[in-house]
Structure 1
Amino acid sequence: MSKDNNRQDLGKDSIFKLLIKFSIPAIIGMVVNMLYNVVDRMYIGNIPNIGGLAITGVGVTMPITQIITGLGMLIGIGASASISIAFGKSKREDAEKYLGNGFLGIVIISLFVAILGNMFAKQILGLFGASKSTMPYALAYIRPLMFGTICNLVAFGLNHSIRSDGNPKTSMYTMVLGASINIILDPIFIFGLNLGIKGAAYATVISQFVALCWVLSYFTRSKKSSIKLSLASMKFDSRIMKGILTIGMAPFAMQVASSIVSVIANKSLMAYGGDLAIGAMAIVTSICSIFIMPIFGLNQGAQPIIGFNYGAKNYSRVKKTYMYSLIGSTIILVLSFVFIQVFPHLAVGMFNKDPELTDITISGMRIFLLSMPIIGIQMTASNYYQAVGKSTKAMIIGLTRQVIFLIPCFIILPKFFGLTGVWAAGPIADTLAVIVSLIAIIIEMRSLKTPDKLNTEGEIAIA
């Protein structure tokens, strides 16, 4: 079957089968990719004598890594969604330009991060809540990661475009390859070579470099790719770049918002619980990411299906894909919630064995993740708007929790309830954001009233 026929299948095949085909590799890839950071934290948290402070140091760097991830999303998701929509409109040449300009954008951004990030690393970490005790660990971890930003962003950003090109398994292999190398190198560098927290960062950068080589090979040499990365495609095009940034702005804004939230949370945690409370939040977010990553994978699998059919004006398939992704997300989140509430010691024990840190983490986690069963509504709604190119709505949906609700909760609630108030901010903000997302997506689905275009044989036509 030709590559063009593979993309045509997005408009004809069973939605359920397509979602399985695209989502399962994405879910596996995202879960494995999540291990980049989670495995680092597992090993770092268990470094003899300094594990508690070291993982707190990593927790302080989270706002920085969130911004870097956001930059990858700005270009990566923006380019991949644009490619899917271009394929739906049968504009292959535009799809190739989106790929080339996306790569160009990533290279430029990576250089700025590597240079400026390292120049002002200490000042930035101080602003984000590093104390005298945790600053050495935070610096040791973040500096190598900043130098390796180009490896991270190319591997992460362009990997989205592999999925939009109709090859979800290849996209999965990218993340499995990088994460597997990271898992192997972590204990060697941290304990075997006695590099400590620096070793974790070195292992991550090396694994990301290998993933970068894999992605570039796909778009330059592989016969599977229908669009190629070339000097011609990298020629700057303001129209193309504007399209990428417009769609990518929503996930980028949400990541920046997450970074701001992390800074505010760290300051509240320090004020009401000290260094160990920041470490506890780092563990909670790591555990949460283990269960949230499958939802990101499911959303990534749904994105090219939604984007292609929206571009082709096959709106009934758009609605069905969204509903399947919402149902799947909710099932995963409900099961995750039950596990966290019933077996919290198993989850926390992977990251640290310190009794005091464990107690703080478990009590906080049970409160902070109370709204987990319903957050799929917000996540799938935001993904839908990204997939169809409605970046402003996607950004608003994302920011309802991260800015409009969560930041005020982090500032106000601790004044009345102390550390418990910091943890309670999560479920309260989530619930309010879900209400807004539900109203928005219901209105959106009702607005898709244009009849599907039919060909003479009664099948949905591909524009």
Structure 2
Amino acid sequence: MTAANPLGTEKVSSLLARFSIPAIIGMVVNALYNVVDRIYIGNAPGIGANGLAGITIGFPIMIILLSIGILFGTGGATLFSMKLGEKKPEEADQALGNAFSMLLISGAAFLVLGQIFLDPLLRLFGASDTVLPYSTEYMRIIFFGAIFQVTSMGMNNFLRADGQPKLAMLTMFMGAGVNIVLDPIFIYVFDMGMAGAALATIISQAISMIWILSYFLSSRANHRLRLRYMVLRSKVIMRIGSLGMPGFLMQLSNSMLNAVLNKTLFMYGGDLAVSGMGIVNSIQTILLMPITGLMQGVQPIISFNYGARKYSRVKTAERLAMTVATIIVAAGWITTRVFPEQLVSLFNREPELLRFGSYALRAWFLCLPVIGFQILGANFFQATGRSRMAMVLTLTRQVILLIPSILIFSRIWGLNGILHAAPFADAVSALVTGIAFFFGIRKLSDNAGDQDDPVLPAEPVTEQY
């Protein structure tokens, strides 16, 4: 089965299109979970800007849930692909089973902890007295669905790694489609407000999880979930964790960033600024989710061929992916320059919010065109098993640079400084990533020799467990 895997033989550009296009579409659709909630809530009578702020306050917590799915989903799928490339299918099955077990355990832990510490958490993330009731009503239900969100997001990575990118895309379509249909019914028809938006979200995530599990428990799967591989093994978990750590830290730092951002925005601009940045974050999610999908699509190609020591295919895949990523973010940047008011008005049409949101959109996305390269450059090191470098590059943009910039710039230039902290961090982190990527690719070339020769000595390229 492994010898015939198209990841090692099919034309790289065709593979990238086949794996990335469904992932890109799927991630954009998946982004609609939170974005659609904000659109419906922002336009709901009696809720409006306060409801938007309530979801914005809860968003960092939802990112933490997403980060757990990435930790064990992306980490497990990367190890799964590398082991298939090394022709070790049983170890690949162990990665699948152990990752699934950890997704279930972590989702259950979040469900319990979220119900116990919800109010203090929301206060910590910047909820004011006005916004707290809206955020509490929404997030209490979201936490009840933590297992669904974590497991469906994590296991979707294995669908792609098992050679089913279209099925992964359809799974996201199904979940987001259900959410889009249920949102207006629960919010407007049943008059459930914030609770209705949250209920629609967790129902759709539950359907996605059931759909994915039905595949991995059936004969259609190339690698099925089996109980003997779901028994936790510390070495497997540690390896999965190390490979998933960069993506996990990226999302965790994103959560920390949003928490700091919300509190700083409230300090300098009140609930209106928090609501406006909630709109900017929603648009950012839509613009950057294609890059996440592209990253997920190229990951199994890079990991498999790195494991198989076909380094020229690794470099070709990375070059093509970075080109596509740059085109995508450049198109998004042009859109934010030309149609800022129209984008903001999708969420709310209050004049003051529209005015602030439009300005914030232009300022925050000033250096958007370099972000695609920065994300994929960091992911290159993750996909090839160099987790430490990936971790450093991942943290550079959102933790090492952006959070201090927000705190420092706000003291000097107030609200305007907050909005211009992002382009500063984007530009500097892209420069740092470019230098690291240059030397990483050169080292790969130096070690390759005749990298596509099938008679290369069987030198291990990943840790054994």
Please confirm whether the aligned pair reaches a TM-score higher than 0.5, indicating the same fold.
yes
- Equivalent residues of 2:288, 2:329 under 8 A apart: yes
Match of 1:215 in 2: 212
Match of 1:454 in 2: 453
Distance apart, 1:298 and its partner CA: 1.1
Corresponding letter in the other structure for 2:406: F
Are 2:318 and 1:319 aligned?
A: no
- Equivalent residues of 2:35, 2:282 under 8 A apart: yes
Match of 2:92 in 1: 95
Instruction: Give 2:256's match in structure 1, choosing from 260, 284, 294.
Output: 260
Distance apart, 1:45 and its partner CA: 0.6
Go from structure 1 to structure 2 and tell me whether the alpha carbon gap of 1:455 and 1:73 turns closer, same or farther (over 3 Å shift). Answer: closer
Give 1:273-292 correspondences, 5 Å limit.
Answer: 273-292=269-288
Are 2:346 and 1:347 aligned?
A: no
**SS at structure 1 position matched to 2:228:** coil
Instruction: Give 1:230's match in structure 2, choosing from 220, 226, 239.
Output: 226
Matches of 1:75 and 1:135 in 2, distance apart? Answer: 31
Match of 1:24 in 2: 21
Distance apart, 1:453 and its partner CA: 3.6
Match of 1:143 in 2: 140
Match of 1:53 in 2: 50
Give 1:302-313 correspondences, 5 Å limit.
Answer: 302-313=298-309
Instruction: Give 1:243's match in structure 2, choosing from 239, 242, 255.
Output: 239
Go from structure 1 to structure 2 and tell me whether the alpha carbon gap of 1:6 and 1:345 turns closer, same or farther (over 3 Å shift). Answer: farther
Deviations 1:146-176 (A, max 9, x none): 1111111111101101101111011111101
Corresponding letter in the other structure for 1:155: S
Matches of 2:151 and 2:412 in 1, distance apart? Answer: 45
Match of 1:335 in 2: 331
Corresponding letter in the other structure for 1:100: G
Match of 2:437 in 1: 441
Matches of 1:206 and 1:173 in 2, distance apart? Answer: 17
Go from structure 1 to structure 2 and tell me whether the alpha carbon gap of 1:38 and 1:6 turns closer, same or farther (over 3 Å shift). Answer: farther
Matches of 2:386 and 2:115 in 1, distance apart? Answer: 35
Are 2:99 and 1:107 aligned?
A: no
Give 1:65-76 correspondences, 5 Å limit.
Answer: 65-76=62-73
Identity %, equivalent residues: 43
Instruction: Give 2:130's match in structure 1, choosing from 125, 133, 136.
Output: 133
Deviations 1:347-385 (A, max 9, x none): 111111111111111101100000101111211012212
- Equivalent residues of 1:23, 1:301 under 8 A apart: yes
**SS at structure 1 position matched to 2:366:** coil
Match of 2:156 in 1: 159
RMSD: 1.3
Match of 2:365 in 1: 369
Are 2:191 and 1:194 aligned?
A: yes
Give TM-score, length-normalised by structure 2.
0.96
Matches of 2:366 and 2:179 in 1, distance apart? Answer: 32
Distance apart, 1:50 and its partner CA: 2.0
Are 2:417 and 1:431 aligned?
A: no
Instruction: Give 2:181's match in structure 1, choosing from 176, 181, 184.
Output: 184
Match of 2:384 in 1: 388
Matches of 2:260 and 2:114 in 1, distance apart? Answer: 20
Match of 1:272 in 2: 268
Give 1:407-418 correspondences, 5 Å limit.
Answer: 407-418=403-414
Distance apart, 1:49 and its partner CA: 2.8
Matches of 1:286 and 1:50 in 2, distance apart? Answer: 18
Are 2:79 and 1:78 aligned?
A: no
- Equivalent residues of 1:6, 1:166 under 8 A apart: no
Unpaired stretches in structure 1, ≥5 consecutive residues: none
Distance apart, 1:332 and its partner CA: 0.7
**SS at structure 2 position matched to 1:232:** helix
- Equivalent residues of 1:159, 1:171 under 8 A apart: yes
Matches of 1:453 and 1:252 in 2, distance apart? Answer: 32
**SS at structure 1 position matched to 2:245:** helix
**SS at structure 1 position matched to 2:191:** coil
- Equivalent residues of 2:294, 2:321 under 8 A apart: yes
Instruction: Give 1:40's match in structure 2, choosing from 37, 40, 60.
Output: 37
Match of 1:204 in 2: 201
- Equivalent residues of 2:2, 2:87 under 8 A apart: no
- Equivalent residues of 2:100, 2:151 under 8 A apart: yes
